[in-house]
Amino acid sequence: MNNQDQTISQRDKKHLWHPLTQHKTSGEMLAIAKAKGAILIDEDGKEYIDGIASWYTAVYGHCNEMITQKVAAQMQKLDQVVFSGFTHEPAVALSEALIQILPQNQEKLFFSDNGSTATEIGIKMALQYHHNLGNDRKVLLAFEEGFHGDTFGAMSVSGLSVYNGAFEEHFLKVLRLPVPVGENNQKVLSQLQGLIAENNIAGFIYEPLVQGAAGMKFVDADGLDQILKLCKQHQILSIADEVMTGFGKTGKNFASDYLSEKPDIICMSKALTAGLLPMAVTSCTRAVFEAFYSEEISKGLFHGHTYTANPLACTAALAGIELLQSAEMQSNIKRVEASHRNYANKLKNELKVKNLRQLGVILAFELDVEMERYGNLRNKLYSHFMEEGVFLRPLGNTIYILAPYVITDPQLERIYSSIDRALKKF
């Protein structure tokens, strides 16, 4: 029975178990009733600027009418159908649109449900590719501190943390490489040469240019290009996890567009469906696909999720790509970029601001204060922003902005001034 005299936040506590939450020490969950553009509205009517585009999904704004109308129309026509033995217009149209904007070497698309399954499939493609070709390659390579999701393969290639520590003994075999940041490029490269000489590596998974969950850490593009080149020379398949970086956030459609070495496999989710519905795509080259193309049934990729290529999610993704390519959205991205650059110029002179960095609409820095002085600084920062109607989720002492592209200039100013006040307060 609903208890209508209680708030949604109160009713929530009875049956719901939230992600990434220690319920004993966390407070009440905030009930969000509505969202529009860059604004979230809670059950009491208080507004918050969505400074992280709801985990990097709603980049064209919440409840975007162009997208919701197309999905509503599709909903009346075909809701869901098996994608094994069947196909449909939204999936085919999406494949054509995606191939247009993906790096040119990408040719085949495999659908799934979320970022973790996208990387899980990328890992399985790399392992089975070598298995099918008769190569003895069972080890994977990943960056330290990377994050690729919460399923077992994805956890295995992610850096160790509270997220995956309890499952360590069940992991796949993974070798780790430090992230190239410029001055260490040569060292990282010779470490990689050593690893290649001593191991049979099947694939290398990485977040291109920006490691999201690690705290928006930047990767040196030249260093990464050299790693990818070496991988290619040794038939190690490269798997670009663009789940966070994809669809315009770095200022280009994909972070891989900044690199000269193109990946064999690309993982996409989050903004793929514009924040409307969950879906993911793992794309690959013709060469990867051909290793599975055979008279032998067992050489196929026997992986499949029930909601594979759901027509509604495909429609949302197709509408999202149309928006991304529009002149209006491209100028929004440039406007947010320029606004961040201006603000970064001001922040540069702040003593407490460390490692200031920007790429596209992503702006991040570390707050250089004695963490102990403030107890749990991260939670205090979070509360400061929320009280001021700004939804930012600092990662430790890293403050970052990744707002929807449609955020207005006054809304951007409100985020900046709230950060300014945090710099005074802490």
Ligand X SMILES: *Cc1c(COP(=O)(O)O)cnc(C)c1O
Residues that bind ligand X in the complex, under the rule CB under 6 A: 114-116, 119, 147-149, 207, 212-213, 241, 243-244, 269
**Identity of the residue, 226 or 269, whose beta carbon is nearer to ligand X in the bound complex:** 269
| Residue closer to ligand X (CB basis): 118 or 419 | 118
Q: Between 132 and 245, name the residue whose CB sits nearer to ligand X.
A: 245
Q: Is residue 25 annotated as involved in ligand binding?
A: no
Q: Within 10 A of 90 (CB to CB), how many other CB atoms are there?
A: 23
Q: Are 236 and 203 in contact (CB under 8 A)?
A: yes
* Cβ distance to ligand X smaller for residue 121 or 243: 243
Q: How far is the CB of 420 from ligand X (least distance, A)?
A: 28
Evaluate whether 121 touches 112 at the Cβ level (below 8 Å). yes
**Residue 347 DSSP SS3:** helix
Interacting residues of 98 by C-beta distance below 8 A, sequence separation 6+: 109, 281, 283, 317, 321
User: What's the closest the beta carbon of residue 91 comes to ligand X, in angstroms?
Assistant: 20
By beta-carbon proximity to ligand X, the closer residue of 112 and 339 is 112
* 68 known member of a binding site: no
Please state the separation of Cα 357 from the chain's center in Å. 18
Taking the CA atoms of residue 35, residue 315, residue 123 and residue 243 in that order, the dihedral angle to the nearest 10 degrees is -30
Name 327's Cβ contacts closer than 8 Å, sequence gap at least 6.
none
Least spacing, CB of residue 247 vs ligand X, in Å? 12
304 annotated ligand-binding residue: yes
DSSP E strand boundaries for 169-226: 174-177, 201-206, 210-211, 217-218
> Measured at CB, which residue is nearest to ligand X?
115
Binding site annotation covers 55? Answer: yes
Is 116 annotated among the ligand-binding residues? yes
Torsion of CA 148, 151, 154, 159, to 10 degrees: 70
- Is 335 annotated for ligand binding? no
Rounded to 5°, the CA angle 396-400-403 comes to: 140
Query: Considering the complex, what minimum distance in angstroms separates the CB of residue 304 from ligand X?
Result: 17
Q: How long a stretch of residues is the chain? A: 426
Q: Quote the least distance from Cβ 303 to ligand X, whole Å.
A: 16
Binding residue per annotation — 176? no
Residue set of the binding site: 55, 115-116, 241, 270, 304-306, 393
The binding site for pyridoxal 5'-phosphate comprises 115-116, 241, 305-306
